Amino acid sequence: MADSVVLLSGGLDSTVVLAMALEEGRRPLALSFRYGQRHSRELESAAAVAEHYQVEHRIVDLDLSYLLSSLVREEEEIPSGRSEEEMESSIPSTYVPGRNIILMSVAAALCESIGGGSVHIGANSVDYSGYPDCRADFFQAFEDMLALGTRTGSEGRPISIETPILFLSKAEIVAEGRRLGAPLEKTWSCYRGGGKACGTCDSCLLRLKGFAEAGEEDGLDYEVEG
């Protein structure tokens, strides 16, 4: 029986978080969402990663298409070729209002319902400093809220929110994944959902830079190597 929930998007970061939870001896359940994202290719990667590790995998349908963001709205353009300064200068257009809050709420509810003790999320405040829901003080506040608003919390067994890669650079995440033998080549990071990764969106640029700085080979095919 699972004792924890890992939010598994199918991307690099959440896959490394799953590998870290397993190394710690947890028995995680992997949770993914079908939330109207354009890049549903991610979900195939999540399934492949869960299968690789032989962990239970749940995909929950969650319609978030009514929330404004280019990640879910077809008509808005995903930015290409931006510098890190541009990525950091403001809250990105790929910010989905309340997205992590909703995903973590469902994960915490599922965790409580299986009697688990922790929710693991691959949030990162280095590369995603512009996202308010990727900051350390937010995760602490979420944990405090859970301690008060759940049965397990009110019974003195609060669910913890684990953010093991919050302060790692992308190169450090890649290196940690390699050290743990995680199937990084099965992960998907691109915001666009094509046959190959685009190589130019914020997420591809960060991934490429991470592999380069870690001195590791990325197993993915790219349209353009940024």
Rank residues 176 and 202 by Cβ distance to its own copies and give the closer one: 202
Rank residues 150 and 169 by Cβ distance to its own copies and give the closer one: 150
Q: How far is the CB of 171 from its own copies (least distance, A)?
A: 27
Rank residues 59 and 171 by Cβ distance to its own copies and give the closer one: 59
* CA torsion through residues 107, 108, 109, 110, sign: positive
Q: Other CB atoms closer than 10 Å to residue 92's CB: what's the count?
A: 19
Question: Radius of gyration of the chain from Cα atoms?
Answer: 17
206 backbone dihedrals φ, ψ, rounded to 5°: -65, -40
Q: Which amino acid, 129?
A: S
Contact 53, 46 (CB under 8 A): no
Q: How far is the CB of 129 from its own copies (least distance, A)?
A: 11
Q: How far is the CB of 25 from its own copies (least distance, A)?
A: 24
Q: Other CB atoms closer than 10 Å to residue 136's CB: what's the count?
A: 12
Binding site for its own copies (CB under 8 A): 58, 60-64, 66-68, 91, 95-102, 105-106, 108-110, 112-113, 132-133, 135, 137-138, 141-142, 144-151, 153-154
Measured CA to CA, the distance from residue 108 to residue 144 in angstroms comes to: 12
Rank residues 79 and 183 by Cβ distance to its own copies and give the closer one: 79
Q: How far is the CB of 122 from its own copies (least distance, A)?
A: 16
Rank residues 101 and 180 by Cβ distance to its own copies and give the closer one: 101
Measured CA to CA, the distance from residue 67 to residue 32 in angstroms comes to: 18
Q: How far is the CB of 95 from its own copies (least distance, A)?
A: 6
